[in-house]
């Protein structure tokens, strides 16, 4: 078995395997293309049905409402206003401040999470003692309910009440608030990254490392040449999902600062308009704008990483 594994996954990329895979794929395609298509669609149908059933109406409804002047209190007085809600939002400094804060938090926390998550994944994967203990405990931060974790951070950073603050009041200043928000985000989601990356690491054959080590590759070289390419799909998925999530950051800000000192994120602003202000038109417009922004991020991502993206026809072993 081990020889086969080695044959199929030579160090440094796996061209042979790919060619072989392509050949197999072609052959198979010509044989039963129709059967395969049918099977594929059947397998996807349940998932697709559930998603459409639950999401189609809410998403369509938000797009529709964003074109109206609409208030939840007076549902009969909705008035079609075209794109004027979009003009209002996009010309508002409130929106752009929140947008900047959100983008900053997203970029910084995802980068930190990726680096720390990779480190943690390697530790969880390779440690020789207490593996079960480390793996389980490392996941505990992710398991703590976000609102509670945020509340405990808030308490910890409150002047004289918390053990972290001492006599300073970091949550009353814009940048230290943002730093604490990022800390709370990162602490909680590094395990998410690590778990995804670790499962990717599990697919890297040990023999490959040994072989490379014998060839004189340093640990650093082995990491970049062997581990990273093989874990790439996991990295992409982890970073993509964290970015989408981080851009919608809400709970931590809501609890830690409730948006004081210009620390609102776009989701906070959308919440204030939609749920507090009951302004369905503006609130839906913001939701749609957040959606579009995230969609752009996702498209850029998948374009950048091309072959590693699920659904792309080229990559992967077949």
Partner 1 sequence: MQNETGKSKLMWLVIDLIVLLYAFIPVFWIISLSLKDSATLNDGNYFPRSITFESYQQIFANNDFTRALINSIGICLIATFIALLLGTFAAYAVARLQFPGKKIIVGMSLMVSMFPQIALVTPLFRIETAVGIFDTWLGLIIPYITFAMPLAIYTLSAFFREIPWELEKAAKMDGATPFQAFRQVIAPLAMPGVFTTAILVFISCWNDFLFALSLTSTSAARTVPAAMSYFQGATTFEKPTGPIAAAAVVITIPIVIFVLLFQRRIVAGLTSGAVKG
Partner 2 sequence: MAARETAAASHDRSTRRRRRARWGVACAVSAALVGGLSACASGPEGTVINLYGGASQSGFEKIIAECNAAAGGKYTIVGNLTPSDADGQREQLVRRLAAKDAGMDLLGMDVTWTAEFAEAKWIRELDQQQTQAATAGVLKPAVETAMWQDKMYAIPKHTNVQLLWYRKSLVPTPPKTWDEMIQMAQKLKADGQKTYQIGITGGQYEGYVVNINNFLNMYGATVVNEDSTQATVGDKTVEALAMMKKVASSGVTSASLSNNQEPEIFAELQNGQSAFSVNWPYVYAAMGEASPEVQKDLGFAPMPTIKAGEEPKVTLGGMNFAISQYSKHPQEAYEAAMCMRDEKHQLMHSTASGEPAVLEALYKTPEMQKVYPMADEMLKELQNASPRPVTPLYQNISTIISSTLSPPGSINPQADAQELQEKIQQAIDGKGILP
Q: Does 284 interact with partner 1 (rule: CB under 8 A)?
A: yes
Nearest Cα residue to 286 out of 273, 302, 301:
273
Q: Does 86 interact with partner 2 (rule: CB under 8 A)?
A: no
Query: What residues contact residue 49 under an 8 Å CB cut-off, 6+ apart?
Result: none
Partner from partner 2, partner 1, none contacting 258, C-beta within 5 to 8 A by type: partner 2
Q: Which residue of 6, 18, 71, 245 would you call a contact of partner 2, by CB under 8 A?
A: 71
Binding segment for partner 1 among 78-86, 96-104, 174-182, 185-193 (CB under 8 A)? 185-193
- Whether the CB-CB separation of 98 and 265 falls below 8 Å is answered with yes
Which C-beta is closer to partner 2: that of 41 or that of 90?
Answer: 90
Binding segment for partner 1 among 38-46, 79-87, 92-100, 106-114 (CB under 8 A)? 38-46
Q: Does 258 interact with partner 2 (rule: CB under 8 A)?
A: yes
Is 68 strand, coil or helix?
strand
CA atoms of 104 and 117, how far apart (whole Å) = 19
Q: Which residue of 90, 94, 107, 148 would you call a contact of partner 1, by CB under 8 A?
A: 148
CA atoms of 169 and 158, how far apart (whole Å) = 6
Binding letters toward partner 1, positions 82-121, x by CB under 8 A: --------------------------------------x-
CA distances from 128 to 133, 138, 198, 240 (A): 11, 15, 15, 31
CA atoms of 200 and 227, how far apart (whole Å) = 9
Partner from partner 1, partner 2, none contacting 236, C-beta within 5 to 8 A by type: partner 1
Quote the tokens at residue 198.
């670790």
To the nearest whole angstrom, how small is the minimum distance from the Cβ of residue 244 to partner 1?
A: 6
Apex 222 CA angle, 230 and 219, nearest 5: 140
- Among positions 164-183, residues that touch partner 2 (CB under 8 A) are 167-169, 171-172
Binding segment for partner 2 among 49-57, 89-97, 236-244, 293-301 (CB under 8 A)? 89-97
Which C-beta is closer to partner 1: that of 44 or that of 213?
Answer: 44
Between helix 131-138 and helix 174-201 the angle, nearest 10°, is: 140
Quote the tokens at residue 169.
């009041």
| Positions in the binding site for partner 2 (CB under 8 A) | 69, 71-75, 88-89, 92, 94-95, 158-161, 167-169, 171-172, 257-261, 264, 269, 272-273, 275-279, 282, 286
């Amino acid at each position: 078995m081990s020889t086969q594994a080695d044959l199929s996954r030579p160090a440094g990329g796996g061209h042979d395997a790919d060619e072989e895979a392509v050949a197999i794929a072609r052959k198979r395609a010509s044989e039963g293309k129709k059967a395969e298509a049918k099977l594929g669609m059947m397998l996807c149908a349940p998932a697709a049905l559930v998603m459409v059933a639950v999401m189609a109406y809410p998403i369509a409804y938000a797009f529709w409402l964003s074109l109206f002047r609409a208030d939840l209190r007076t549902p009969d007085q909705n008035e079609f206003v075209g794109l004027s809600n979009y003009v209002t939002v996009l010309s508002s400094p409130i929106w752009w401040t929140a947008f900047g804060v959100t983008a900053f938090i997203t970029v910084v926390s995802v980068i930190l999470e990726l680096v720390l998550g990779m480190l943690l994944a390697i530790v969880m994967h390779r440690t020789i003692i207490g593996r079960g203990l480390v793996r389980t405990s490392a996941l505990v931060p992710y398991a703590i309910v976000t609102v509670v974790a945020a509340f405990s951070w808030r308490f910890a950073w409150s002047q004289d009440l918390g053990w972290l603050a001492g006599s300073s009041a970091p949550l009353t200043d814009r940048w230290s608030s943002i730093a604490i928000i990022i800390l709370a985000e990162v602490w909680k989601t590094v395990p998410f990254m690590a778990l995804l990356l670790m499962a990717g690491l599990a697919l890297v054959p040990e023999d490959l490392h040994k072989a490379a080590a014998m060839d004189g590759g340093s640990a650093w070289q082995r990491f970049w040449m062997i581990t990273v390419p093989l874990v790439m799909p996991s990295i992409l998925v982890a970073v993509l999902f964290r970015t989408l999530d981080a851009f919608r950051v809400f709970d931590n800000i809501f609890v830690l600062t409730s948006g004081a000192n210009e620390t609102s994120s776009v989701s906070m602003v959308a919440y204030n308009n939609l749920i507090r202000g009951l302004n369905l038109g503006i609130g839906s417009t913001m939701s749609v704008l957040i959606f579009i922004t995230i969609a752009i991020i996702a498209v850029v991502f998948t374009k950048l990483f091309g072959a590693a993206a699920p659904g792309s026809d080229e990559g992967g072993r077949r």
